[in-house]
Amino acid sequence: MASEISVALTMLVLVMHALTGAEATGQVQNLTAVNVEDAPGDVLVTWLPPEAPDSPVQFYRVSYELFDMAQCSYIVELTRVVAGEMVTETSYTIGGLLPYSGYQVIVEASTSTGLQEEAIVSVFIPEAVPTDPPRGVRNLGSSSSTILAFTWDDIECSIGARSSAFRGFYYELTSVDQPTNAPITKLVPHGPAWIYDLSSFHLYSFRVAIRSRAGDGPFSEPLEVRTKENTPTKPAAFQVSETTETSVTCSWEEPLQPNGVITNYTITLRPSDRPYDPSFTPPLSATVIRHLEPDIFMTKFDDLEPSSFYELSTTAWTSTGAGGIAILNTFTRPKSDIQGPSLPVVDPYTSNETSVTITLKDPDDHYVTSYLVAVESDAPRSKRSPVVIDGKAFRTYSDNPHAYIAAEIPKAENTSSVVVGDGQTYGDYLNAPLANGRQYRIWIGSKSAIDWRSSVSWSATLKVTAGDYEFPPTAPSSTPSKGHSAHQQWILGAAPWLFMLWLWLY
Ligand X SMILES: *[C@@H]1O[C@H](CO)[C@@H](O)[C@H](O)[C@H]1NC(C)=O
Where on the chain is the footprint of ligand X (CB under 6 A)? 29-30, 48, 263-264, 291, 317, 319, 352-355, 412-414, 419, 422-423, 495
Exposure string of 232-271, with b = 16+ CB inside 10 Å and e = fewer, is: bbbbbebeeeebebeebbbbbebbebbbbebeebbbbbbb
For residue 322, the minimal CB distance to ligand X (Å) is: 8
Comparison of 6 and 436: residue with beta carbon closer to ligand X: 436
For residue 349, the minimal CB distance to ligand X (Å) is: 12
- Residue pair 199/257 in contact (Cβ under 8 Å)? The answer is yes
Comparison of 175 and 233: residue with beta carbon closer to ligand X: 233
For residue 353, the minimal CB distance to ligand X (Å) is: 5
- Residue pair 326/315 in contact (Cβ under 8 Å)? The answer is yes
Report d(CA 24, CA 392) in Å as an integer: 136
For residue 30, the minimal CB distance to ligand X (Å) is: 4
Comparison of 29 and 382: residue with beta carbon closer to ligand X: 29
Comparison of 130 and 255: residue with beta carbon closer to ligand X: 255
> Nearest residue to ligand X, using CB?
291
Report d(CA 104, CA 122) in Å as an integer: 4
Q: What is the DSSP secondary structure assignment for residue 395, as one 8-state letter?
A: B
Q: What is the DSSP secondary structure assignment for residue 346, as one 8-state letter?
A: B
For residue 32, the minimal CB distance to ligand X (Å) is: 9
For residue 424, the minimal CB distance to ligand X (Å) is: 8
Q: What is the DSSP secondary structure assignment for residue 39, as one 8-state letter?
A: S
For residue 343, the minimal CB distance to ligand X (Å) is: 22
Q: Could you give the dihedral angle defined by the CA atoms of residues 163, 167, 169 and 172, in that order, rounded to the nearest 10 degrees?
A: -110
The two counts, helices (H) then strands (E), for the chain are 4, 35
* Cα-only R_g, the chain: 53
For residue 116, the minimal CB distance to ligand X (Å) is: 17
Report d(CA 369, CA 331) in Å as an integer: 15
CA distances from 162 to 167, 187, 242, 352, 399 (A): 10, 17, 70, 112, 93
Report d(CA 288, CA 296) in Å as an integer: 17
What spatial distance separates the first Cα and last Cα of the chain, rounded to whole Å? 170
- In the sheet where 91-94 sits, what is the strand order? 29-35, 43-48, 91-94
Report d(CA 399, CA 269) in Å as an integer: 42
For residue 35, the minimal CB distance to ligand X (Å) is: 19
Comparison of 85 and 413: residue with beta carbon closer to ligand X: 413
For residue 377, the minimal CB distance to ligand X (Å) is: 17
Comparison of 317 and 331: residue with beta carbon closer to ligand X: 317
Comparison of 221 and 470: residue with beta carbon closer to ligand X: 470
CA distances from 263 to 9, 221, 230, 392 (A): 94, 34, 12, 55
For residue 151, the minimal CB distance to ligand X (Å) is: 32
Comparison of 104 and 315: residue with beta carbon closer to ligand X: 315
Q: Which residues contact 415 (CB under 8 A, 6 or more apart)?
A: 360, 371, 409, 482, 483
Strands (E), 116-222: 119-124, 138-140, 148-151, 166-175, 184-188, 193-195, 203-212, 215-216
For residue 76, the minimal CB distance to ligand X (Å) is: 31
Comparison of 213 and 482: residue with beta carbon closer to ligand X: 482
Comparison of 363 and 380: residue with beta carbon closer to ligand X: 363
CA distances from 10 to 4, 16, 23, 135, 314 (A): 10, 10, 21, 53, 100
Comparison of 32 and 35: residue with beta carbon closer to ligand X: 32
Comparison of 196 and 499: residue with beta carbon closer to ligand X: 499
Burial degree of 56 (CB within 10 A; 0-12, 13-18, 19+):
exposed
Comparison of 35 and 263: residue with beta carbon closer to ligand X: 263
For residue 291, the minimal CB distance to ligand X (Å) is: 3
- Residue pair 217/131 in contact (Cβ under 8 Å)? The answer is yes
